[in-house]
Amino acid sequence: MTTIKIFDTTLRDGEQSPGVNLNQLEKLEIAKQLERLGVDVMEAGFPASSQGDFDAVKKIADTVTTSTVAALARANKQDIDRAWDAIKGAKKPRIHVFIATSPIHMKDKLKKTPEEVIDIAVNMVSYAKSKCDDIEFSAEDASRSELPFLATIVEKVIDAGATVINLPDTVGYTTPKEYGAMFKYMKNHVKNIDQVDLSTHCHDDLGMALINSIAGVENGATQVEGTINGIGERAGNVALEEMAVTFEIRKDFYPFKTNLTLNEIKRTSDIISKLTGMVVPGNKAVVGRNAFAHESGIHQDGVLKNAQTYEIITPELVGVTSNSLVLGKHSGRHAFKDKMKQLGFSLDEDKVSVAFDQFKQLTDRKKEVTDDDLFVILMDVQTDIKARVQYQLNNFKVEYNSATSPTATVSLVTPNHDTIEGQGTGNGSVEALYNTIEELIEEQIQLTDFTLSSVGKGKDALAEVHVSMTVNDQPVSGRATAQDVLEASLNAFINAINRVFIIQVAEKE
């Protein structure tokens, strides 16, 4: 069995998903969970892209101990300096330098000749090497590059000090045969290729990211790059959980394994879904809500007789647990703390108290509090969303009837502890609430995305709302859960506005 290294780029390429905007605390939370999952490398971000991303990458680099922490940089000195400044405190830092090598990218985007691109790549890899031992070089759009040119640049950057060579299918265009052949070509034509790890990086535009990554591995790649839940630019990246579980379930067929702790997969997927607001489709392989559900009679009959008739993956393998200890109105702090540990949270006593209070308030309204409910409460408390609010909701009212526009009344406490109240209308109840707040406060708000989903199944399921917006031109996102859809919508909106204050505090710290 060959061990394939897992390079997780959820925090960089995953964050490039439209509408996703993680703050420093959220990125750190995800990084800690990725470490627990056992990724060999995590790409924490692109420090030159913003001060916020620089700070988040630095915080992750200073916190993570077992995984390598990588930072992305264009092939220029400023980006490389920013990347190094952000990750130099890491136990295992890696600078990831990239430049495009396909004719279309070199000519139309970079406006450089192939010879100039080689020079830049070699100079920048050796510049990065003067700072950091571990250097990954990516030939962006490798799958649409000319193979002899690709082989030349790869050989030269290895001589300049690259330790990992990544050949991305940047636009998700390649096929398994073609992608595999590219790796084979490098193995056969680059004389120093055995000094480095070869890496895949596949996007899913044609739905072939997984099979293309496997083709790369079958032809010599020893590192796979991807994201959890397959999030990422456009149609996303290869879903790493699918890759790892494929190798585990089909170890009779594929001679590969990964270092991932498979039973951390579900929890990792849940955290990333909650914090990014990218809902996992019910039928998603490995982590979807229906991945282990059997609906039809013949299947249920088969599963009852022998689960393996229709179940190739056991839920336990990926950390899907059954809920044995039911928490409700009569549960106490001990049971709550026990469940908290089972769900993988370790909060200090102050935060336990905040979370326990919120749990108790929920039990007044809900018969049974599920793991999903607790997960959102604990995650909110752990990431300090409620503890650091600046605007606070006093109360709100919406008057609705089918003949007229809904009217909302909202009362808020401002960061200066003043109480303000206003009224507004909208085409729907949520719009009426949001219009009212926009009129009430000074900040300029532009809503860009709104998603509503339910946590759990019954009539008393919690509503979860995720919004993306700009507040005074700063992109932020907000999340909230509540039993009532309007309350969740309102709190998500207020949480997003409060993010601006949280970011200011984090920047000062």
Ligand X SMILES: CC(C)C(=O)C(=O)O
Ligand Y SMILES: CC(=O)SCCNC(=O)CCNC(=O)[C@H](O)C(C)(C)COP(=O)(O)OP(=O)(O)OC[C@H]1O[C@@H](n2cnc3c(N)ncnc32)[C@H](O)[C@@H]1OP(=O)(O)O
Q: Strands 327-328, 41-45: parallel, antiparallel or unpaired by DSSP?
A: unpaired
Cα three-residue angle 421-426-430, rounded to 5 degrees: 75
Asked if residue 258 binds ligand Y (CB under 6 A), the reply is no
- The option from ligand Y, ligand X, Mg ion, none interacting with 46 (CB < 5 to 8 A, set by class) reads ligand Y
Q: Is residue 121 a contact point for ligand Y (CB under 6 A)?
A: no
Of 158 and 202, which CB lies nearer to ligand X in the complex structure? 202
The 474-482 sheet, strands edge to edge: 445-455, 462-471, 474-482
- From 423, 443, 419, select the one nearest 433 (Cα to Cα): 423
Q: Which among 20-28, 45-53, 153-161, 212-220 is the span making contact with ligand Y, rule CB under 6 A?
A: 45-53
The DSSP H or E segment spanning 124 is helix 114-129
- Nearest approach, Cβ of 193 to ligand Y (angstroms)? 22
Instruction: Work out the angle at residue 196's Cα, subtended by the Cα atoms of residues 237 and 182, and round it to the nearest 5 degrees.
Output: 55
38 binds, among ligand X, ligand Y, Mg ion, none (CB under 5 to 8 A by kind): none
483 binds ligand Y (CB under 6 A): no
Question: Would you say 194 is a known binding-site residue?
Answer: no
- Give kind and range of the element (H or E) at residue 383: none
* Per CB under 6 A, 13 contacts ligand X: yes
Query: Residue 153: is it exposed, middle or buried by C-beta count within 10 angstroms (0-12/13-18/19+)?
Result: buried
Those residues whose C-beta lies under 8 Å from the C-beta of residue 159, and which sit 6 or more positions away, are 122, 192
Residue closer to ligand Y, measured from CB, 49 or 453: 49
Nearest distance from residue 13's CB to ligand X, in Å?
A: 5
Binding mask 134-163 for ligand Y (x = CB under 6 A): ------x-----------------------
138: partner contacted, choices ligand X, ligand Y, Mg ion, none (Cβ within 5-8 A by kind): ligand X
Kindly list the distances between the CA atom of residue 434 and the CA atoms of 26, 80, 406, in Å, as whole numbers in the listed order: 25, 42, 12
How many residues bind to ligand X according to rule CB under 6 A?
9
> d(Cα 291, Cα 463) in Å, to the nearest integer?
22
Is position 110 an interface residue for ligand Y (rule: CB under 6 A)?
yes
Q: In this structure, are residues 269 and 287 in contact, taking their beta carbons and an 8 Å threshold?
A: yes
Please tell me whether 334 is known to bind a ligand. Answer: no
CA distance 136 to 448: 35
Residue whose CB is less far from ligand Y, 167 or 320: 167
Task: Say whether residue 169 binds ligand Y (CB under 6 A).
Answer: no
Angstrom distances, CA of residue 100 to CA of 114, 132, 137, 222, 373: 10, 22, 11, 22, 45
Residue from 7, 54, 84, 98 touching ligand X (CB under 6 A): that is 98
Q: Is 319 helix (H, G, I), strand (E, B) or coil?
A: coil
Site for ligand Y in 87-106 (CB under 6 A): 98-99
491 in a known ligand binding site: no
Q: Is 49 in the site for ligand Y (CB under 6 A)?
A: yes
Is the separation of the CB atoms in 286 and 242 below 8 Å?
A: yes
Which of ligand X, ligand Y, Mg ion, none is residue 372 near (CB under 5 to 8 Å by kind)?
none
Greatest CA separation found in the chain?
Answer: 76
Q: Does 79 contact ligand X by CB under 6 A?
A: no
Among 22, 31, 39, 48, binds ligand Y (CB under 6 A): 48
7 binds ligand X (CB under 6 A): no
Q: Answer with the entry of ligand X, ligand Y, Mg ion, none that 454 interacts with (C-beta below 5 to 8 A by kind).
A: none
Show the 3-state SS of 78-119: HHHHHHHHHHCCCCCEEEEEEEECCHHHHHHHHCCCHHHHHH
- One residue of 58, 201, 266, 499 binding ligand X per CB under 6 A: 201
Q: Does the protein bind ligand X through residue 292 (CB under 6 A)?
A: no
Least distance CB 46 / ligand X (angstroms):
9
Instruction: Note whether 479 binds ligand X by CB under 6 A.
Output: no
- Residues 264/319, Cβ–Cβ less than 8 Å: yes
138 belongs to the binding site for ligand X (CB under 6 A): yes
Q: How far apart are the first and last CA of the chain?
A: 46
Ligand-binding annotation for 270, yes or no, is no
Q: Which residues bind Mg ion (CB under 5 A)?
A: 13
The residue type of 176 is: P
Of 110 and 420, CB closest to ligand Y: 110
**125 forms part of the interface with ligand Y (CB under 6 A):** no
Q: Name the site residues for ligand X (rule: CB under 6 A).
A: 13, 98, 138, 140, 166, 168, 170, 201, 203
Specify binding-site residues for Mn(2+). 13, 201, 203, 237
Q: Name the site residues for ligand Y (rule: CB under 6 A).
A: 13, 16, 46, 48-49, 74-76, 98-99, 109-110, 140, 170, 233
Specify binding-site residues. 13, 201, 203, 237
